[in-house]
Structure 1
Amino acid sequence: MSSPFDLPGVEWTSVSPRLVVARRVVSTAGTVVSLVVVAVVATLWWSPWWIAAGAALFALGAWQWWLVGRQVRAIGYAEREDDLLVRRGILFRSLSVVPYGRMQYVDVSAGPLERWLRIATVQLHTASASSDATIPGLPPEEAARLRDRLSRRGEARLAGL
């Protein structure tokens, strides 16, 4: 039985492994802040439940740390003749097909952490807000190349209409 996510002849391009680092930094910061809050509250109002809460938060943080690596490996994109494919997800998988002729504009963005790790996010905007596609974790050179290439292909498709 074939899956709607397995497309024959499609070569997927992976995102940078630096995206794992960025997402783990954010996840770890949230876990550490939560653990500090639990520790302070446990110090002020002692109860064994606070130890259980701290252990649960730590376990959740460790699980997120592991999961981020798998999530990032599941992100990929492929440029085809008439459209761009973007896939993501492990348990809840998604595959977006964005025709070049439907693209209105392409954004490249990078926050402070992304700039420090030398990665960027490319976001495609289409006429339909529900069909926008995002490709996080691209090296800046690849993000610029993809932005320019997608813009050219989108303009060429619109001109041909």
Structure 2
Amino acid sequence: MTDTTDSELFDPAGIEWQPVSPRLATARFILLAVFVGGPLVVFAVLGAVLSTTWPWIVAGALAVLGVLVALVVGRQVRSIGYAERDEDLLVRKGVLFRSLVVVPYGRMQFVDVSAGPLARKLGIASVQLHTASPSTDANIDGLPPAEAARVRDRLASRGEARLAGL
């Protein structure tokens, strides 16, 4: 039995990882401000108007949650990477809960590129690979649009070439 360390498991030797754009962190900070900061303000105002403690407790919990998430967003984005090898695509992500997804090109069915309004405003897009098995789908968030188009076209052509050989 081979003794594999944690770094070898999620960071195979000889792989040159491509990072995603740091603008993905900006997008996540904006979403954090909207979905945690907005309710925090509402509960703080409720606490001031109602003169009771429960809205302040909720506001405090939201503030703690917001700070904790804000502390890890940058590290999470820096942990995302992808690498194109001859036969497959590797996608890694996660700080506390790490994952490494390996998708063989011959198993890919189609590749999507998407960008919502915030992502378009920040100049980023997501590439999602679909396979016959939902558990092996992979996505790469936070790519510049030109890189997302390049990755999409390259993966689609590699996938077609591998399928043709079956």
TM-score range, shorter chain: over 0.9
The separation in 1 between residues aligned to 2:51 and 2:136, in whole angstroms, is: 50
Partner of 1:39: 44
Which of 69, 81, 85 is the matching residue for 1:80? Answer: 85
Partner of 2:120: 115
Q: 1:16 aligned to 2:21? A: yes
**Cα deviation 1:91-149 (Å, max 9, x = unaligned):** 11000000000000000000000000000000000011111000000000000000000
The separation in 2 between residues aligned to 1:40 and 1:11, in whole angstroms, is: 50
Which of 2, 16, 36 is the matching residue for 2:5? Answer: 2
Cα shift at 1:47: 2.0
Which of 95, 99, 115 is the matching residue for 1:94? Answer: 99
Identity %: 60
Secondary structure of the corresponding residue to residue 10 of structure 2? coil
**Cα deviation 1:60-116 (Å, max 9, x = unaligned):** 212211211111111100000100000011111000000000000000000000000
Which of 157, 162, 165 is the matching residue for 1:157? Answer: 162
Specify every segment of 5 or more residues in structure 2 that has no aligned partner in the other structure, as ranges. Answer: none
Which of 59, 67, 80 is the matching residue for 2:64? Answer: 59
**TM-score, length-scaled by structure 2:** 0.92
Cα shift at 1:44: 4.1
The separation in 2 between residues aligned to 1:8 and 1:32, in whole angstroms, is: 41
Cα shift at 1:40: 3.4
The separation in 2 between residues aligned to 1:132 and 1:42, in whole angstroms, is: 45
1:28 and 1:65 in contact (8 A); partners too? no
The separation in 2 between residues aligned to 1:118 and 1:47, in whole angstroms, is: 44
Runs (4+) off by over 3 Å: none
Partner of 1:131: 136
Amino acid at match of 2:37: V
RMSD: 1.3
